[in-house]
Structure 1
Amino acid sequence: MKLPTIQENQDLQQAVDAKELYQSLGLDISNWSRWSAKNIAENPFAVQGVDFLGFVMMTSGNKAQNYLLSIDFAKKLAMQVRTEMGERIRDYFLECERRTQQPVVALPDFTNPALAARAWADEYQAKQIAQEQLAEAQPKINFHDAVAASRTMMTVSDVAKKIGMTAQELNKKLVDIGAYDKRRLPKKVFGHNFITKGYGVMKLTADGYDRNLLTQSGQIYLIGLFSRARELEAV
């Protein structure tokens, strides 16, 4: 699937064509008008001129409503889809932002040795902090890559270890986001919504017990949700 193009825009600085994003997410093209109205034009948390700009385009001789989206707003819409493609597009936007926001290091005033030394020391310290943050995040990045290359289902305990939590901590978070059927708590049975989204399955063991397992999509979903210090999202 083709990733959406990021274009320069005077008002939004960088923008994404909403219909192109919609198609890249693999959504039903026949539902575009309804989806765009609900999620963009009528979205109570989106501000016209800041998050999006509307415009009319000609398609096969007919007028059609379309929008330009800010990068931040496009990321939110991609994440709402909650598919692997949505995650991929979100990460693509983040990477594009990272590349365009590289800090410009001003040359120090070499006529003042004290200021020059301080400037180089500050730059060195900033690089050290960035390297430490990358090293800290690397195990989670490696795990994400390993999951993406695998089709193996994992237990909640195994996933918890990989993202630096105890099974108890991860299970509590799964309760908080509604992954488990609340009617059957404290038994850990995935809810219908969590299962239908493809995040988890319930398997019957040889001795007749229910066992919850996380699919590849579920593993990636939990990594993205809990390894970036984000607020909890309901499933």
Structure 2
Amino acid sequence: MDNLIPVNYETEEPTVSARDLHKALNIQSRFSRWFENNKRLFVEGEDYNKCTSNTVVNNGAVRELEDYQITMIMAKHLAMMSRTEKGKEVRDYLINLERAWNSPEQVFARALKMADKTIDKLKSDNVILIEDNERMKPKEIFADAVTASDTSILIGELAKILRQNGVQTGQNKLFEWLRNNGYLIKRKGSDWNMPTQKAMDMDLFEIKETVINNPNGSTKISKTTKVTGKGQQYFINKLLAAS
């Protein structure tokens, strides 16, 4: 059962290609029909994300195909839903891979790798902050006076402050800029528009949690991203310098 289906370990959690799974299960129907019929049981952004994969056609050219990166949980469900011996074989294979992934040795190895990445990010962030400091010196006093507060504010309120001081932006435009520049998570899903780990390490945001009581007696937690006082100074300095 070696290499029954390739697994992508570059993401936070292992994923597999839906096309690779379709091939491994020996599904007779077209990939697009098979996935369309089954995806309704799962949530985009949590269980799967759209992507592309490459295939070589008869003339040797490379052709891009629509594909999906799916979680191991979704892959195991789809394998069992095929109700074939091949499906059971694929499911057992994925279970064994998960066990290896969650073994103490692998968990420790990933922790070391994450620590190395964190150190590299901190070094990189420090260099960026030094460069920003040198570039923004002419406007620092003004920006610090505007944001001399420890109170966290909404991103929409930060957009108003920026607009009042000559930066042509609005709430939606600022959200987009924060996502594109690595401060907010741009991947669609439950954590969309939440701060990235880099931004949290820099103390630019905080997350406010609010418990909402539903009429049926159940509760849910609403999460709101707010800009800290340090974050206000950082973004005002950065965007004023770029304006």
Q: RCO greater where, 1 or 2, for CA within 8 Å and sep 6 or more? A: 2
On whether the aligned pair clears a TM of 0.5, the verdict is no
TM-score, normalised relative to structure 1:
0.39
